[in-house]
Amino acid sequence: MLRFFILLGFSFLFLHLHATGSISKYINMKYSYISFITIFVLFFLTIVQLFFYIKGDKEAEEPCEHGCEHHHHPKTWKEYIMLPVLIFPIFSVLCLPVATLDSSIVKAKGFNFNVYNDKDTSAIHEFLQPDSSVYYGTDGYDELMDKSKKKFSKQGNELILSDEDWLQGMETIYRFPGDFMGKTIQFRGFAYNEDNLAANQVFIFRFGIIHCVADSGVFGMLVEFPKNVHYHNDEWLQVKGTLTSEYYQPFKKTIPVLKVDKVESIAAPKDQYVYRNY
Domain spans in the chain, listed from the N-terminal domain onward? 2-95, 103-275
> What is the SS3 assignment for 79?
helix
Question: Cβ-count burial of 141 within 10 angstroms (0-12 exposed, 13-18 middle, 19+ buried)?
Answer: middle
Q: Are 274 and 208 in contact (CB under 8 A)?
A: yes
pTM: 0.71
Give the per-residue pLDDT at 82.
76
Fold topology of 103-275: OB fold (Dihydrolipoamide Acetyltransferase, E2P) (2.40.50)
Residue 10: how many other CB atoms lie within 10 Å: 20
Q: Are 157 and 242 in contact (CB under 8 A)?
A: no
Kindly report, residue by residue over 24-78, the tens digit of the pLDDT. Answer: 777 777 777 788 888 889 888 888 888 887 877 555 555 555 555 555 556 666 6
Give the per-residue pLDDT at 38.
87
Residue 247: how many other CB atoms lie within 10 Å: 9
- Which helix (H) or strand (E) segment holds residue 186: the answer is strand 184-192
Q: Are 159 and 185 in contact (CB under 8 A)?
A: yes
Would you give per-residue pLDDT tens digits along the chain (278 residues)? 777 888 888 888 888 788 877 777 777 777 777 888 888 898 888 888 888 878 775 555 555 555 555 555 566 666 667 777 777 777 777 776 666 666 776 766 655 544 444 444 444 444 578 888 877 777 888 999 999 999 998 888 999 999 999 999 999 999 999 999 999 999 999 999 988 888 999 999 998 887 777 767 889 999 999 988 889 999 999 999 999 999 988 778 889 999 999 999 999 998 888 988 76
Give the per-residue pLDDT at 124.
41
Q: How far apart are CA 30 and CA 249, in angstroms?
A: 37
Q: Are 253 and 237 in contact (CB under 8 A)?
A: no
